[in-house]
Structure 1
Amino acid sequence: MSSVQLTGDEQRYAGRVRILHWLIAGLVLATWPLGLMIGFVKEDVKLDFYLVHESLGFLILWVMLVRIGARLTSTAPLIEAPALEKAVAHLVHGLLYVFLIVMPISGFLATNAHGFPLEWFGLFTVWSPIGKTPDIAFVLSAIHGWSAWILLALFALHFAAVVFHHVIRRDDTLYRIL
């Protein structure tokens, strides 16, 4: 396939979609490692790691909801690619959206079910829809943990596609979201 040259803003995502994309990417790249590190930090700072991890995760949830709204109310640039490639791209993007919602919800509910209210950045307590519910806490924690690994795999696929398009194909796919 030949390289497609962009001719202006009609070949890019709307500005608000691009901003939200990179905001979410940054938040996830900060939140994911924090969550992974919680098991390895000293007890005296563990709660601080939880506070930041959970607060960022809750922020991701709300920014993702805004992003979905922005994406639904704007048009996407056309993708010039074979049908299978388009289908895989849509599947991976759809799954990224799903897991960027499932992961923070399951984490928030797991925190609640374990009996810990979310203290959002230490500013205020977020209302708990389920309260302390030990019988489902570990299920919610498992969903959250598996979602994190699935999200990492999806991110790796997404990043591999970016590299493929930018380095191998040398097309303008990356510039649609920049």
Structure 2
Amino acid sequence: MDTPRYPGAMRTMHWLVAVLVLATWPLGMIIKFVRDDVKLDFYLLHESLGFLVLWLMLVRIGIRLTSRIPKSAATGSMALVAHTVHTGLYLMLIVMPVSGFLATNAHGFPLVWFGVVPVWSPVGKTPDIAPLLSTVHEWSAWILFSLFALHLAGVLFHHVLRRDDTLYKML
């Protein structure tokens, strides 16, 4: 197949972030149902993976801004929808881990990344803003989930209905 593909670094970052989000998002959703004696372990894993997503997204944005990408098969309003969904995904993949990190710190739990690296917090324990940051984190998670569903619908639309090479560009 002669399909022009995204650069290897972009494809790698895309799938790495996707796998991490698909692990981190449900992990965050089940924490409230976990036994108290292991709850902090679940929080540490969720927060550490989320913080990793943040750094990978910053690298991904850098790669995206400095790489040539293949031409999109979408045109007109479909191109606008695709651009809006992608922009929203990138935005939420920054907002969600930042708000989660800040919320955790504001609640008085500094992040020790994967239990090894202490991470400095710009807010520290700040109970006045902790609920707001938690709300932003929760809402951004649901927005991300919705955008992911739209993204997946777009992939299926292109691959199954239009039978174009859009999916192959990212494989």
Q: Calculate the TM-score normalised by the size of structure 2.
A: 0.98
Pairing partner for 2:78 from 76, 80, 85: 85
Equivalent residue, structure 2, for 1:66 = 59
Residues 111-152 of structure 1: CA distance to partner in whole angstroms, max 9, x if unpaired?
Answer: 000010001000121011110000000000000000000000
Equivalent residue, structure 2, for 1:7 = 2
Residues 13-55 of structure 1: CA distance to partner in whole angstroms, max 9, x if unpaired?
Answer: 1100000000000000000000000011110110010000000
Structure 2: how far apart are the matches of 1:81 and 1:95? 17
Alignment of 1:95 with 2:91, yes or no, is no
Return structure 1 stretches of 4+ with deviation > 4 angstroms.
none
Pairing partner for 1:34 from 5, 19, 27: 27
The Cα shift of 1:82 comes to 2.4
The Cα shift of 1:79 comes to 1.2
Structure 2: how far apart are the matches of 1:138 and 1:26? 28
Residues 68-110 of structure 1: CA distance to partner in whole angstroms, max 9, x if unpaired?
Answer: 0000000111013321111110110000000000000000000
Structure 1: how far apart are the matches of 2:56 and 2:113? 15
Alignment of 1:134 with 2:127, yes or no, is yes
Number of residue pairs matched by the alignment: 171
Q: CA RMSD in A?
A: 0.8
The one-letter amino acid of 1:52's match is L
- What secondary structure is seen at the aligned counterpart in 2 of 1:134? coil
Structure 2: how far apart are the matches of 1:124 and 1:18? 28
The one-letter amino acid of 1:149's match is W
Equivalent residue, structure 2, for 1:17 = 10
> Which structure 2 residue ranges, 5 or more long, are not aligned?
none
Structure 1: how far apart are the matches of 2:73 and 2:136? 36
- What secondary structure is seen at the aligned counterpart in 1 of 2:70? coil
